Structure 1
Amino acid sequence: MEGGGSVSWIKYGPVVSLVVVLLALWFRPPQHAVLDDRLDTVLSSLLRAEQKVGVNNVARPRVAVGFGGCVDLLVDGVSLLNKIGLPPTDQPLHHNYIENAEQLAQSFAYFFAPGAAAERFVLNETLFSELVEASRDLPGNRWSVGGNAPVMAGRMATEGCDVLLGGSFSPDFTDVLSQHITVAGNAVEEPDIHLILEYPSGARWGPFTSRRANRYIVHSDDHNPYLASMEEFAGKLQGFNPDLLVVGGLQMMDNFPFQTGERDALLSRLAELLSASSPRLGVHFEMASFVEESIMQDLLHYIIPRSDSLGMNEQELPNLLSLLKGSNITVLSDPNPRVATVLDQMREVYRILNQRHRDSREETNSSEGKPLTRLHVHTLAFQAMIVTHGSQWKNTMSATAKASLTANRHVCGSNDIDPSKARLIMDDSFSVSRQEGSQRIPLQESRPVSCWDEEDYEICVAPVLVCTEVFQTAGGGDNISAAGLVLQI
C-alpha cells in the first residue's frame, strides 16, 4: 500500500501542485492581486529608468575612495545582549560614547525602539573585547568587509568602476577585495573590528519593540581614527587620475580620545589634499552618525566646503541642518520622515551651504572651496536628490532609480529583486513642501521617479521597494550612495 501511494503521488504530484497554485490564485483576495501588480509595475519601471544609462566598460570610470576600513562582525543584537546577560534597561538614554554595560543597554534601547541607525565608540576596551568574544560563536553570525570606504569601493567596483582605496588593511582583508580595487595604505596585522548589532522590524527586547529593521554599531578602533593611509593615498592620487574623489569614514574620529590638536591637524591635512585636487574633480563626502558637536564644526570648516556632493540618511540630514542653523546636534530624528519634510530640509542645507560659499569667496577674495551642486538623501521609504543645473553631475533620474533599487538589493542580499519580498511604504502622493498650498505629486507606477525643476536645481524622488526579508541593513547607505554616484560621474 505504501509503495502504491508513493507511485500515485509521483505520477500525479505535478498535477496536484498546479491545481493548488491555480486555486491559490483564484481565491487570492483582489486587493492582493492589485498590490502585486502595482509592485511589479513599479519594479519594471525603476529597472527601465536605471538601464537608460550604462557604465562605460571599455573606459571604466576611475574613483578614489578614502578612508579606513574594518572587519564587520554581524550578529543579532538582541541575541548578543541576552547572551552576555545584559538585562533590558528601564531608562533609554543617549550617550556620546560607551563606558560600561549599563550605558550600552541604555544607548541600544534609545535607538532600538524607533528603529534608528546609530554608531558609538566604546571607550572601555575590556567591554568591547567581551562583546566581540561573545559574538564569535553566536549562531548566525557573519564576517564581512566593513567600513564606509571599502563598502563604497566594493559597490563601485561591482558597478563597473576602477577604484583606488585608501586604508590600512590586513593581507586577508585585501585578498577578498575586487580585482578592480587598488589599495593605498600600510598593511596591519590585526584589522579594526566593528560589531554590528542587527535587528528586524518587530524585534523585542524587554519592553521595547523595534519599529523598523536597523542596526546599532559599536567599535573601539585603533587605526581608522588616524587616517593612517592618507599620505600614501595622496601620493597615488595624481597618478591614478580619478574622475571622482569620495571621502567617508570620518565618524571614526567622533569621541575618539585624541591628544590636543591631533584631530585638527589630521583634518587640516585632509583639507589640503582636497584643495590640491583639480577644481574639475568632483568630491563627494559621505556623512555618518556624528554626535560630538566639535567634530561636526570641524567638518563644516575643513571638509564640507571642499565637497561639491554630500550623501546622508534621514538622521544625518536634520543633524547637519540643526548645526548649520546654530542649534545643537539632533541625536534622534523621525526614522520615517515624510517626503515634504526631507525636501524642505534638503533645500535649506543646499541654500545655507551655498550662501556660506558665496560669502566666503567675497570675504577672502579667494577661489578656494566649492559650491554644493549635489545632495543625496537616502531614507527607508524613498531616495531624494538635488542636483544643480549645468553642474558636472548627469543622469539624475536614472541615478535616483539605481539608488532605490540598490537599497532593496543590499538589504535583501540579492541582485535579483523579488516583489513578493518587498513593499512600498511611501505615500501614494506627496507634497513637494510643507508650505501651505504646495503641489502634490502622485506616485505613478509606470513612471515612479518624479523629477522637477526649482530655482537653479533639479529634484528627483524615487520610491524604495522596501525589503521585507532583511539579510543585512549595515552598509546600506554606503551601497546606495555609491550606486547613485556611479551613473552621475
Structure 2
Amino acid sequence: MCPPRASYFRIVVTPPPQLLLTLLHTRLKPPTHLPSRGYLSFKYSLFASQVSAVLVLAAVGVLASPQSLLPMERGSGFSFMKYGTAVSLAVVLLAYWFRPPGDSRLDDRLDTVLSSLLRAESKVGINNARPRVAIGLGGCVDILVDGVRLLNKIGLPPTNQPLHHDYIENADQLAQSFAYFFVPGAAAERFVMNNTLFSQLVETSRELPGNRWSIGGNAPVMAGRMATEGCDVLLGGSFSPDFADVLSQHITVAGNVVEEPDIHLILEYPSGATWGQYTARRANRYIVHSDDHNPYLAALEDFEDKLQDFHPDLLVMGGLQMMDSFPFQQGERKNLLSRLGNLLSSSSTRTGVHFEMASFVDEGLMGDLLHLVLPHADSLGMNEQELPNLLSLLRGSNVTVLSDPNPRVATVLDQMRELYRLVNQRYRDANEDSGVDTNAASAKGRPLSRLHVHTLAFQAMIVTRGSQWKNTMSAVAKASLTANRHVCGSPDIDPSKARLIMDESFSVSRQEGSQRIPLEETRPVSCWDEDDYEICVAPNLVCTDVYQTAGGGDNISAAGLVLQI
C-alpha cells in the first residue's frame, strides 16, 4: 500500500543557500574571443550548459534518495516554501544573465574584418595604362553539375573502398577515386581513359537539372579575372567560335579554332553533402576530363608568334596538368615541355613569369616540369594540396596525393620557407655547375622571388625584398576578398554569408617558442620580414552559400598578381 501523499517534501540543498547569494552577485564571464560562427556557437552552448548545470545543482540540489520524498520536519533542512520563490527568481535571472549572446558581435567582427580588407585592397591600384598579361595554355568547356546527383543518375553506387587512382579506366575506379577525395573535401582532377565512360558522364550531365556551362581551364579563367581587374590579355588556347565570342573585349586569343572543344566535367559538392555512407567535410569539386587538344599544347605555336609583338608585363603559364597520365608517344611530352621552356627562357628579364600549379600525380611529368619549366618562373601559385606535393618532389620523395585540406598557418609557412629555399638552392647550384654568376645576364633560369599559397582559411605570400613584385599587403587582401567573391558568385561580399575559420591567433612556425600573431579585426593582414623576404598572411571570409568552387584558385592567384605587376 502506498504511503499517504505528503503536502510538502524535504528539499536537501547542497551547497548551502549562501552560495546562491554569491552567484547572484558574481557574473561568470563567458568566453571573450570570437573566432568563428560555428566554433563560437559551440563554445557558448557548452558554457551555457555548464552554467545551467551549476544553477540546477545550487538552487535545487535534490538528492535521488527516498528521503527526498519524506514529509519535511520543522527546523530541518531548507524550507522550499520559504525560499522557493527566491530560488525560482534567482534561476530565471541567472538564466537570462548567462543566455548565449546573439550574432550581433559576430556580425560586427565580420563587418570590421571585411571593411579592413577592403581598405587594404584599395590602398593601391593599377596604373592608368592597362597592364599587359600573356596567359597560356589551353582551354575547355566546363560543365558544372552536382557531383552526387550525377553519380546517382548513372547508377553508380558508393564504393566500400575509397582509393586513389592516377587515372580512371572504369566506373568502379571513378567511384573509388571520388570517395577518396570527397570525404576530406580535397580538390582533385583526373584523366578518364575510357571514352565510353566519359561520353556517358557528359551526356548525363547535359540532362541534369541545374547544370551550368562556362569557359574553363586555368588560362581562360585567369585571363577573365585579369581582364575584369583592368588588364589587357593575350590568351593562348583553342576555342570554338561560339565561346571565343563571349570572352572579354580585353582578351585577344592566340590559338587554333576548333569545332569540338575539350570538355571538363566539374563534379561540385557542398560541405555536408552525403554520398551513401560518406559525408564531405568541406565544399569542393572533383574534375574529370578526356582532352584531345590541351595535352598537346595545341595553341603553343600561335601563342609564341603573337607574344613577340605583345610585349607583356607578366607571362603566366598553367593548365599543364592536362598532360598528367596522358598516353603520349615516347619522348613526345618532353619535347613539348622543352619548347615551352625555351619560350619562357626567351622572355625579357623585365617580364615576370608566373607558373600556376595544379593537381599532378604523374611523377614523370612532375620531374619534367621541375627541370624544363619551373626554373624559368620567378613566381609560383598553388593551394594547400599542391604545396606539399611539390615540396615532396623537391626533397627527392614521391608524389603526395592527399594532404591535410585544412592546414594550420604555421605548417603552411614552414612548407613555404622550405620550398622557397630549395627552389633557390637549385637555381644557385645549376649556375655554379656551369660556372655562371647568378647575377649575370647569362644566368640559367630565374630565382624564385614570389610564392603565393591559398587555402580555405587564409592566404599566405612570400616576396623577396627588392624584387619587382610590389604591394604585397594589398595583393594578399585582394586575393582573400576574391576567394569569397568567386565562390559566392557575387562581386559584393555579404558578411551574413561568410565566416572566419582561421585561428584567432597563429604561430609563425611550428618550431618551439615561435612568435604568435593575433588576428586583429582592424588590421587583418599581418606582414613581417624574415631573411631576404617579406611574409604576409590574411584571413579568408569563407563563403557559406557556395555558388561554385571550380576556378577558385585561378581567380585568387590572378587577383593577387594584378596589384603586383
Shorter-chain TM-score tier: over 0.9
**Distance (whole Å) between structure 1 residues aligned to residue 412 and residue 123 of structure 2:** 27
**Distance (whole Å) between structure 2 residues aligned to residue 364 and residue 235 of structure 1:** 31
**Distance (whole Å) between structure 1 residues aligned to residue 274 and residue 250 of structure 2:** 42
The one-letter amino acid paired with 1:261 is G
Given the alignment, which residue of 378, 400, 416 partners 2:492? 416
Which residue of structure 2 aligns with residue 9 of structure 1? none
The one-letter amino acid paired with 1:65 is I
Which residue of structure 2 aligns with residue 279 of structure 1? 349
**Distance (whole Å) between structure 2 residues aligned to residue 412 and residue 49 of structure 1:** 21
Matched, 1:270 2:340: yes
Matched, 1:334 2:404: yes
The one-letter amino acid paired with 2:123 is K
**Deviation at 1:30?**
2.6
User: Residue 432 and residue 31 in structure 1: after superposition, are their counterparts in 2 closer, same or farther (change >3 A)?
Assistant: farther
Which residue of structure 2 aligns with residue 151 of structure 1? 221
**In structure 2, the residue corresponding to 1:30 is in which secondary structure?**
coil
**Distance (whole Å) between structure 2 residues aligned to residue 454 and residue 31 of structure 1:** 41
**Deviation at 1:98?**
0.1
The one-letter amino acid paired with 1:182 is T
Matched, 1:35 2:106: yes
Which residue of structure 1 aligns with residue 537 of structure 2? 461
**Deviation at 1:238?**
1.8
The one-letter amino acid paired with 1:111 is F
Given the alignment, which residue of 537, 543, 553 partners 1:477? 553
Which residue of structure 1 aligns with residue 138 of structure 2? 68
Matched, 1:116 2:186: yes
**Distance (whole Å) between structure 2 residues aligned to residue 293 and residue 257 of structure 1:** 14
**Distance (whole Å) between structure 2 residues aligned to residue 359 and residue 216 of structure 1:** 38
1:158-173 aligned within 5 A: 158-173=228-243
Which residue of structure 2 aligns with residue 243 of structure 1? 313
Which residue of structure 1 aligns with residue 273 of structure 2? 203
Q: Give aligned pairs, total.
A: 462
- Residue identity over aligned pairs, in percent, reads 83
Matched, 1:46 2:117: yes
1:274-423 aligned within 5 A: 274-366=344-436, 367-423=443-499
1:166-245 aligned within 5 A: 166-245=236-315
**Deviation at 1:365?**
2.6
Which residue of structure 1 aligns with residue 503 of structure 2? 427
**Distance (whole Å) between structure 1 residues aligned to residue 159 and residue 313 of structure 2:** 49
The one-letter amino acid paired with 2:343 is L
1:426-480: CA deviation from partner (whole Å, max 9, x where unpaired): 0000000000000000000000000000000000000000000000000000000
**Deviation at 1:364?**
1.1
**Distance (whole Å) between structure 2 residues aligned to residue 29 and residue 423 of structure 1:** 18
1:362-420: CA deviation from partner (whole Å, max 9, x where unpaired): 11134120000000000000000000000000000000000000000000000000000
1:120-161: CA deviation from partner (whole Å, max 9, x where unpaired): 000001100000000001011000110000000000000000
**Distance (whole Å) between structure 2 residues aligned to residue 252 and residue 222 of structure 1:** 10
**Deviation at 1:71?**
0.4
Which residue of structure 1 aligns with residue 329 of structure 2? 259
**Distance (whole Å) between structure 1 residues aligned to residue 448 and residue 267 of structure 2:** 34
Which residue of structure 2 aligns with residue 4 of structure 1? none
The one-letter amino acid paired with 1:106 is Q
Given the alignment, which residue of 506, 527, 530 partners 1:451? 527
**Deviation at 1:421?**
0.1
**In structure 1, the residue corresponding to 2:266 is in which secondary structure?**
strand
CA RMSD of aligned residues (A): 1.0
**Distance (whole Å) between structure 1 residues aligned to residue 347 and residue 472 of structure 2:** 24
Gaps of 5+ in 2: 1-98, 437-442
1:156-189: CA deviation from partner (whole Å, max 9, x where unpaired): 0000000000011110110010000000011000
**Distance (whole Å) between structure 1 residues aligned to residue 508 and residue 338 of structure 2:** 38
**Distance (whole Å) between structure 2 residues aligned to residue 368 and residue 277 of structure 1:** 13
**Distance (whole Å) between structure 2 residues aligned to residue 204 and residue 372 of structure 1:** 42
**Deviation at 1:31?**
4.7
**Deviation at 1:333?**
0.2
**Distance (whole Å) between structure 2 residues aligned to residue 48 and residue 362 of structure 1:** 45
**Distance (whole Å) between structure 2 residues aligned to residue 299 and residue 412 of structure 1:** 33
The one-letter amino acid paired with 2:398 is N
**In structure 2, the residue corresponding to 1:187 is in which secondary structure?**
coil
**Distance (whole Å) between structure 2 residues aligned to residue 314 and residue 31 of structure 1:** 34
**Distance (whole Å) between structure 2 residues aligned to residue 340 and residue 350 of structure 1:** 15
**Distance (whole Å) between structure 2 residues aligned to residue 432 and residue 372 of structure 1:** 21
Matched, 1:78 2:148: yes
Runs ≥4 in structure 1, deviation > 4 angstroms? none
Gaps of 5+ in 1: 1-27
Which residue of structure 1 aligns with residue 203 of structure 2? 133
**In structure 1, the residue corresponding to 2:481 is in which secondary structure?**
helix
Which is higher, the Rg of structure 1 or of structure 2?
Answer: 2
1:270-314: CA deviation from partner (whole Å, max 9, x where unpaired): 000011111221000000000010111111001111000000000
The one-letter amino acid paired with 2:171 is A
1:84-103 aligned within 5 A: 84-103=154-173
**Distance (whole Å) between structure 2 residues aligned to residue 160 and residue 355 of structure 1:** 36
**In structure 1, the residue corresponding to 2:103 is in which secondary structure?**
helix
The one-letter amino acid paired with 1:391 is S
Which residue of structure 1 aligns with residue 93 of structure 2? none
The one-letter amino acid paired with 1:470 is V
Matched, 1:486 2:486: no
1:91-137: CA deviation from partner (whole Å, max 9, x where unpaired): 00000000000000000000000000000000001100000000001
**Distance (whole Å) between structure 2 residues aligned to residue 217 and residue 403 of structure 1:** 23
The one-letter amino acid paired with 2:228 is T
**Distance (whole Å) between structure 2 residues aligned to residue 222 and residue 114 of structure 1:** 31
